Amino acid sequence: MAAVPRRYDHETLQAFAAGILRAAGVADDHAHVTAERLLEADMRGRTGHGLIRIPPYVRRIEAGSVNLQPRVSLVSEGPTSALVDGDNGLGQVVMTTAAEIAIAKAIEMGMAWVGTVNSNHAGAAGIYPAMAARQGLIALYMAVGNANSMPPWGGNEKLLSTNPIAIAVPAGDGPPFQLDIATTVASHGTIKVAAQAAETMPVGWVIDADGEPITDPNRAHDGFLMPIGGYKGAGLNIAIGLLAGALNGAAFGRSVVDQNAELASPTNTGQAMFVMRPDLFRPDDPGGAVAEHLAELRGSGSNQPGPLRLPGDEAARLEAENRARGIAVPSPLLEDLNAVARRLGADELNDRQGC
């Protein structure tokens, strides 16, 4: 029987994660921001993009592929737009800057589109629209993934990644509608979690060149990830690659760098975020109107007990639970993180610090 994961409060994990990053050479403020974005992912159940990402981030830092003192700057800017050059800094730092710019412009001008170039893996897609939703704003986020693992529909060459999309729509005092999906059936992060837990993958996540299913997560790189919705998901994947990658001058297609296989190569990751004030089209309590429609959907007919679960509901429930009880850290992940901390001379996490 697997050991029950020990829980740790947010403050303890924030200090632990930031401490590892600082020991790897990351500046204090960048370590804090990166740790916070990773913990937000874990709190919302996006564990494939949470603390599990620290060891591979450290490997890339040590290989010299990440700029630890980036000058994040604006390549171009208009009243409702901006292109942010991340100078190869940590993706959470670059994308947090881009999100803050988009939010500020949307508050002032009504809407904004902000793209990034020379960024890196920025973690769970949904955490950036959530930043806008907390300020009552609608947001959409897209990114080009950091390893090609899928061919165009009908092809056999890996030219597409997981390319996620996330949308947040505030709902007054209730939890916002929050969609956070990869355009592949499973993301690389989800596969990493399955591998660390020594679990098999469901049939339908990955296939080999002959179309046969691969269920061993450690062999996922031998096959192709499957798109959501067949050719429709594959088409959406390309659209995201064009809007978040090619449009910004960032990597897409053959220029995408596999962040796990090419440790010393900068990834030139691209992201894009659109933010809008909901009162532009409905000044009479738009959040209340959204909440009313969401309540109608939750209360609609079902063959399951209880209300229907909509996108964002489970994430909101998990976040509330994890804030109250602490964030669960599985034993294999804790061992990996402590091993990195020990090697770098950072403080380790022990059982006595748990909740």
Residue 260 near residue 56 (C-beta atoms within 8 A): yes
In the chain, what are the domains? 1-62+313-355 (1.10.1530.10), 70-184+227-298 (3.30.1370.60)
CB 136 within 8 A of CB 108: no
Q: What is d(CA 256, CA 267) in angstroms, rounded to the nearest whole number?
A: 7
pLDDT (0 to 100) of residue 2? 58
pLDDT digits (tens, 9 = 90+) for 69-111: 999 999 999 999 999 999 999 999 999 999 999 999 999 999 9
Strand order in the sheet with 174-181: 73-78, 81-85, 111-117, 271-276, 138-143, 165-171, 174-181
Whether the predicted pLDDT of 5 surpasses 90: no
Average pLDDT over residues 195-203: 88
DSSP 8-state assignment for residue 309: P
* H helices, E strands: number in the chain: 10, 12
Helix axes 54-62, 10-23, angle to 10 degrees: 20
d(CA 148, CA 173): 40
**End-to-end Cα separation, the chain, in angstroms:** 22
Q: 47-70: per-residue pLDDT in tens?
A: 999 999 999 999 999 999 999 999
Does the structure show a pLDDT above 60 at 1?
A: no
| Residue predicted with more confidence, 249 or 191 | 249
Residues 312/179, Cβ–Cβ less than 8 Å: yes
pLDDT digits (tens, 9 = 90+) for 243-252: 999 999 999 9
Q: Is 229 left (phi over 0), alpha (psi -120 to 50) or beta?
A: left
What is the distance between the alpha carbons of residues 253 and 262, in angstroms, rounded to a whole number?
Answer: 16
Between helix 331-344 and helix 188-196 the angle, nearest 10°, is 100
What the block records as the tokens of 60 is 């890339």
Tell which residue, 134, 86, 138, has the closest CA to residue 275. Answer: 138
Question: In 293-312, which positions are buried (b, 16+ CB within 10 angstroms) versus exposed (e)?
Answer: ebeeeeeeeeeeeeeeebbb
Percent of the chain with pLDDT over 90: 85
